[in-house]
Structure 1
Amino acid sequence: MRPFDDATRRNIAAACAAFTRLPENADPASLKRAAVVVALTAARDSDDTAFLLTRRASHLRAHRGQWALPGGRCDAGETPVEAALRELDEELNLKLGAGEVLGQLDDYPTRSGYLITPVVVWAAGSAAIRPNPDEVASVHRIALATIERDAAFDFVAIPESTRRVIRFHHHESLIHAPTAALIYQFREVLAGRQTRVSDLEQPVFAWK
């Protein structure tokens, strides 16, 4: 159990600080920059800390109805941290400053042509969450204890790739990479492990 309090914030900030991000190894000209947010808040049904996970709106052009961390493409001249905070505001009405950023995880290159930077933030003002219906169908609080279970993730082979597909089991749903890979790496950071995830594959339906 990780109660949503100042001690947990300090511990997670320390874990993020101890994590050494890999240097960017992709050609920036070949991939579009994007950022997502691991937004930490209070769980709804316990004292545990949770992170926010969304279901994308069904009318979106790309990846409609899929599970996702809040986030999106970086605007011109925008850093990943700036993009992450802007997207969190636009999608969930959460207005946070740079002082709430606890750290960043490894960049993850996607099959659809993006280089995603995950940004970990402390979202104490979660009472203000109001999903933007133009982008978000629903928002969910996932307790950290959920992702720390041994059975939370599995890895499967597919004929289309030599890399394993990672899956996060959430209730009756299977959440795949890139979202599952980023959540998995965050779980590993919390445990003090320098685990890399760029070699974890996405399912074929997410390659476009």
Structure 2
Amino acid sequence: MDNVRMMETRRRIARHVAGFEKVEIGDRPGMRRAAVVLCVAERDGEACVLLIRRSPRGRNAGQWALPGGRGEPGESVEQTALREFHEELGVALSPDDVLGRLDDFPASSGFVITPVVVVPEVLGPLAPCPDEVASVHYLPLARLTGDGVVHFHDTAQGPLLQMRLGPGTTIHAPTGAILLQFREVALLGNPLRVADLRQPDWTAI
């Protein structure tokens, strides 16, 4: 992908995100805040969004995720997102790389997760922290917006979102829900809400 097409992708995402009226969840007792980064970068000639697999030890061991984590006192959402990205992947993103946010997502774990959309001009070499990140994956945007990706599996408790992104890559809410909203809002310009999508029981731990 040449620089002109990448810049056009950035402008399109920025336009869609800026035109989206995001839902923010206000503070309440016992609520914990976190932020994740939807980072779009070029890889092998394609625009991609970064995904990670969590380390086999620690919280959410082995799960698919977006880079990010819990906020610290006094931080803005954007500061949390950029700090966590740096701590997990070893790259310092600029505040100028931030294009905006999507809806706050109320996770069953008790966290309210704010997705922050970031498209850097250049993404430097990654240096994943092994204590937090087992592997880094580049998901082409063309794949994310392709047919057959969004699937709802019927269960006794109701439909369960499955983002079927490739062999061995099926992602549920909350990460799957955030990716679905990113696909619809940032990439396709459709104002989809996802906060009411059911989350598997194992995401609550």
Coarse TM-score class (shorter-chain normalised): over 0.9
> Which of the residues 160, 165, 172 maps onto 1:170?
165
> Which of the residues 50, 53, 66 maps onto 2:51?
53
Q: Distance in 1 between matches of 2:17 and 2:6?
A: 17
CA deviation map 1:13-57 (0-9, x unaligned): 111101110242x6532320000000010123xx22101000000
- Assess if the C-alpha contact under 8 Å between 1:19 and 1:194 holds in 2: yes
Secondary structure of the equivalent of 2:14? helix
TM-score, normalized by length of structure 2? 0.92
> Is 1:206 paired with 2:183?
no
> Is 1:65 paired with 2:62?
yes
- Assess if the C-alpha contact under 8 Å between 1:53 and 1:139 holds in 2: yes
Q: Distance in 1 between matches of 2:188 and 2:70?
A: 29
Q: Distance in 1 between matches of 2:166 and 2:176?
A: 14
Change (3 A) 1:27 1:157: farther
- 1:7-156 equivalences under 5 Å are 7-24=8-25, 27-44=27-44, 47-60=45-58, 62-156=59-153
Pairwise CA distance, 1:2: 10
TM-score, normalized by length of structure 1? 0.91
Pairwise CA distance, 1:169: 1.1
Point out where structure 2 has 5 or more consecutive residues left out of the alignment. Answer: none
The number of residue pairs the alignment matches comes to 202
Change (3 A) 1:2 1:177: farther
> Which of the residues 147, 155, 158 maps onto 2:155?
158
Point out where structure 1 has 5 or more consecutive residues left out of the alignment. Answer: none
Match of 1:5 in 2: 6
CA deviation map 1:120-156 (0-9, x unaligned): 0013332321111111000011000011012111112
CA RMSD of aligned residues (A): 1.8
- Assess if the C-alpha contact under 8 Å between 1:70 and 1:91 holds in 2: yes
Secondary structure of the equivalent of 1:202? coil
Secondary structure of the equivalent of 2:91? coil
